[in-house]
Chains A and B, each alone.
Chain A
Amino acid sequence: GENVEQHPSTLSVQEGDSAVIKCTYSDSASNYFPWYKQELGKRPQLIIDIRSNVGEKKDQRIAVTLNKTAKHFSLHITETQPEDSAVYFCAASTADSSYKLIFGSGTRLLVRP
């Protein structure tokens, strides 16, 4: 079945710096890759997603890139702010038609003021 690996598990950056989180997936038929942000004690919330027919997508300070050949995708946050501190999860859809998502294990991002 699909497997998603996420790195790093923790990331500490200075406010204003960029942060990059990387994920690899195993199923070459996966075609949907969302990223979720989860603040402490809260629900996961979608921040950006990308489909397999697109190589890059950007939304203000957040961007996601997808390399289908290498089966990896990355989240880029520029000009980080303390409110970006949270746990970030990547996910990949499965190849069948059930719209299942397999999640990575998460990255705890700390933005130091």
Chain B
Amino acid sequence: NAGVTQTPKFQVLKTGQSMTLQCAQDMNHEYMSWYRQDPGMGLRLIHYSVGAGITDQGEVPNGYNVSRSTTEDFPLRLLSAAPSQTSVYFCASSYGGISNQPQHFGDGTRLSIL
């Protein structure tokens, strides 16, 4: 199993450009989420999904869109990139069910907005 796969690993954008960060998992996990990691601020939840067709906002959703058309994929879209979105982005997934299950993280995407 590949686990959680994120692409690209690195990306540089200009202010105002749009792009999609890809996340795929092959563990049949119901729950998927996107975090951003900034120095000294830990991991902050952007958007999450509890299953195909269901998404919801996390702590810092502004400027980002998500969709969940399949169980495997959970792309994150930056609509109009801003320098404040320079960060490392992590996708994570876990089993659903009644109780919380460990979240498995991808390797991250390092995004710079100029």
Contact = CB atoms under 8 A, between A and B. Distances in A.
A46 B90 CA distance: 14
Interface string B24-41: 000000010101000011
Of the candidates A1, A45, A91, A98, the one having the most CB atoms from chain B within 10 angstroms of its own CB is A98
B40 A51 contact: no
A31 interface: yes
B90 A43 contact: yes
A100 B102 contact: no
Residue of B40, B42, B59, B103 most packed against chain A (CB within 10 A): B42
B42 A103 contact: yes
A34 B101 CA distance: 9
A98 B105 contact: no
Interface residues of A, number: 26
A100 to B, nearest CB: 6
B29 to A, nearest CB: 11
Interface in A58-113: 89, 91, 93, 97-106
A50 to B, nearest CB: 11
Residue from the set A9, A98, A99 with the largest chain B CB neighbour count within 10 Å? A99
Task: Please provide the 3 A-B residue pairs with the shortest distance between their CB atoms, ordered closest to farther.
Answer: A32-B100, A103-B42, A43-B105
6 contacts: A9-B40, A42-B107, A93-B100, A98-B50, A102-B45, A102-B59
Given A9-B40, A46-B103, 18 more contacts: A6-B42, A34-B102, A43-B106, A44-B90, A44-B105, A46-B102, A49-B102, A51-B99, A99-B94, A99-B96, A100-B33, A100-B45, A102-B45, A102-B59, A103-B43, A105-B40, A105-B41, A105-B42
